Amino acid sequence: MMPQRTDVLVVGAGPTGLAAAVTLARRGVEVTVVDRAARPPVTSRAAVVHAYTLEVLDRIGAAAPLVDRGIASPRFTVRDRDRMLLSVGFGDLPSRHPYALLVSQSVTEAVLTDRLTALGGQVLRPYEMTGLDHDAAGAVVRFADGATVRARWVIGADGMRSTVRESAGIRFGGPDDPGESFVLADVRTRSALPRDEVSLFLARSGPMVWAPLPDGVVRLVASVAEAPREPDAGYLQALLDERGPARRPDRLTDVLWTSRFRIHHRIAERYRLGPVLLAGDAAHVHSPAGGQGMNLGIQDAVVLGDTLADVLAGRPDTLLDEYSAARRPLAEEVVGFAGRLTRLATVPPAGRPLRDLLLRALSRTPSARRRLALRLSGLTNRPG
Ligand SMILES: Cc1cc2nc3c(=O)[nH]c(=O)nc-3n(C[C@H](O)[C@H](O)[C@H](O)COP(=O)(O)OP(=O)(O)OC[C@H]3O[C@@H](n4cnc5c(N)ncnc54)[C@H](O)[C@@H]3O)c2cc1C
């Protein structure tokens, strides 16, 4: 049942909200988690959990059960049809998780929910937050069914269209264009591509990510000019034919789930306003091309949960301003990185030979490959 008061209210039980709640619950903080959806989603969405995120999940006891349910991928490749332009290995990463874990987002959420339950917590559903007022003592949060809760702190982990962010009046800057359009699909294919590595195809019409998931499922993410409402098998086969391997093309055998979405690259102007704190997609959104969105959100959440637990234990609340100051530049970096990947894919024909030359040169330079591996794995975000 919804309490009248709580120390911390987490709005949103996606990967960010769940990771924040688990971190707080482990530190003995009284935390209430709400979500407007009656049930957790079952769709895959973000499919890659990187090495540094696994290290962060280790801290809250969630990495081991997740690793058990995913595919440990030793490398990431960039291709132009049949030509391998770049291969980035994760095997030498200075991490106890020297790989990228390929696993559906719904599994990541289920593992975090299990952790929360084991700590005596739960997600209250369906509760749609509709507004809040805040003062020096905290915030009063309103819900669609008329309920209200007084919370000392509110974590907005309610995704891209965050009501927490909007209610607090925090600006979500970015260009006014309609955003980048993506098609997503979970499919099965007969394919000659390795079943344990993510391949990023740089096609003239835009990048396409080919990511294997457990149980023979392949996740496709493609940037397209205009995504159809429901991409069907014919559309997806055409994408594979146009952007995937040419000599031994993938043959689609099954379409399990499809979706489309538009992404604006946006970052909240601040992650804290008084008792209101933002994390995950509520604070930053960007193209899924670099596979970083959910990773950054989980990292935000654990840092924020720990910082908030410290503040509730008596440390100064200016620590939370430091959270905002430290995390925001990381989102700026990811937005820049995702933008560069898209530009790399969509180089006009005249520039492609030079691009391919540069990528091959990068591929032959161990220090450059290592820097890229560290970057993709998120280990460049590791403090110290
Ligand atoms: C279709 C789709 C495909 C994607 N594919 C990829 C991908 O391939 N790779 C990648 O890196 N990323 C992908 N993403 C992005 C990735 O899913 C997000 O980065 C990640 O989910 C962010 O987690 P979050 O917890 O911050 O927000 P979310 O996962 O969006 O969770 C927010 C939660 O808040 C709840 N909520 C929202 N508003 C309210 C409210 N007013 N009151 C109460 N609850 C509320 C929602 O029900 C939801 O459960 C995809 C996203 C979508 C939608």
Other CB atoms closer than 10 Å to residue 137's CB: what's the count? 10
Query: Looking at 205, 233, 263, which one is the last position of a domain?
Result: 263
Residue 362 counted as domain residue: no
Residue 360 counted as domain residue: no
H or E stretch at 368? helix 366-377
Question: Closest residue (by CA) to atom 6 of ligand 1?
Answer: 46
Q: How confident is the model at residue 298 (pLDDT cuts 50, 70, 90)?
A: very high
Say if residue 111's pLDDT is above 90.
Answer: yes
Do 116 and 251 have their domain in common? no
Ligand 1 in reach of 211 Cβ (< 6 A): no
Ligand 1 in reach of 378 Cβ (< 6 A): no
From 35, 76, 113, 258, the mutation candidate for ligand 1 (largest count of ligand atoms within 8 A of CB) is: 35
Distances in whole angstroms, Cα of residue 375 to Cα of each of 27, 70, 166 = 30, 21, 31
Lowest-pLDDT range of 8-17, 186-195, 346-355, 369-378: 346-355
Do 187 and 251 have their domain in common? yes
Six-digit token string for 189: 């294919």
Do 306 and 279 have their domain in common? yes
Residue pair 147/56 in contact (Cβ under 8 Å)? The answer is no
Query: Tokens 């509110």 correspond to what residue?
Result: 154
Residue 60 counted as domain residue: no
Question: Closest residue (by CA) to atom 8 of ligand 1?
Answer: 46
Averaged pLDDT, 154-181: 90
Count up the domains in the chain and report the number. Answer: 2
Residue 114: burial class (beta carbons within 10 Å; 0-12, 13-18, 19+):
middle
CATH number of the domain encompassing residue 190: 3.30.70.2450
Ligand 1 in reach of 50 Cβ (< 6 A): no
Query: Looking at 330, 346, 362, which one is the last position of a domain?
Result: 346
From 16, 294, 334, the mutation candidate for ligand 1 (largest count of ligand atoms within 8 A of CB) is: 294
Q: How confident is the model at residue 77 (pLDDT cuts 50, 70, 90)?
A: very high
Do 256 and 308 have their domain in common? no
Say if residue 45's pLDDT is above 90.
Answer: no
Say if residue 268's pLDDT is above 90.
Answer: yes
CA 334 – ligand 1 centroid, Å:
17
Distances in whole angstroms, Cα of residue 54 to Cα of each of 16, 75, 164 = 14, 16, 28
Residue 21 counted as domain residue: yes
Do 272 and 341 have their domain in common? yes
Please give the residue range of the domain that contains residue 218: 180-263
Lowest-pLDDT range of 30-34, 77-81, 141-145: 77-81
Q: How confident is the model at residue 74 (pLDDT cuts 50, 70, 90)?
A: very high
CA distance 18 to 93: 27
pLDDT of residue 205: 83
CATH number of the domain encompassing residue 309: 3.50.50.60
Ligand 1 in reach of 139 Cβ (< 6 A): no
Averaged pLDDT, 129-150: 96
Residue 58 counted as domain residue: no
Do 288 and 231 have their domain in common? no
CA 341 – ligand 1 centroid, Å:
22
Average pLDDT across the chain, whole number: 93
Do 33 and 121 have their domain in common? yes
Question: Going by DSSP bridges, is the β-strand pair 48-49/172-173 parallel, antiparallel, or unpaired?
Answer: unpaired
Q: How confident is the model at residue 336 (pLDDT cuts 50, 70, 90)?
A: confident
Do 25 and 109 have their domain in common? yes
Residue 294 Cα: closest atom of ligand 1: 19
pLDDT of residue 69: 97
Averaged pLDDT, 62-90: 95
Q: Bin 215: left if φ > 0, else alpha if -120 < ψ < 50, else beta.
A: left
Do 162 and 192 have their domain in common? no
Ligand 1 in reach of 209 Cβ (< 6 A): no
Do 112 and 167 have their domain in common? yes
Q: Which residue has the higher pLDDT, 193 or 181?
A: 193
Query: Looking at 263, 283, 312, which one is the last position of a domain?
Result: 263
Do 215 and 324 have their domain in common? no
Ligand 1 in reach of 221 Cβ (< 6 A): yes
pLDDT of residue 19: 98
CA distance 46 to 56: 17
% the chain with pLDDT above 70: 99
Do 251 and 292 have their domain in common? no
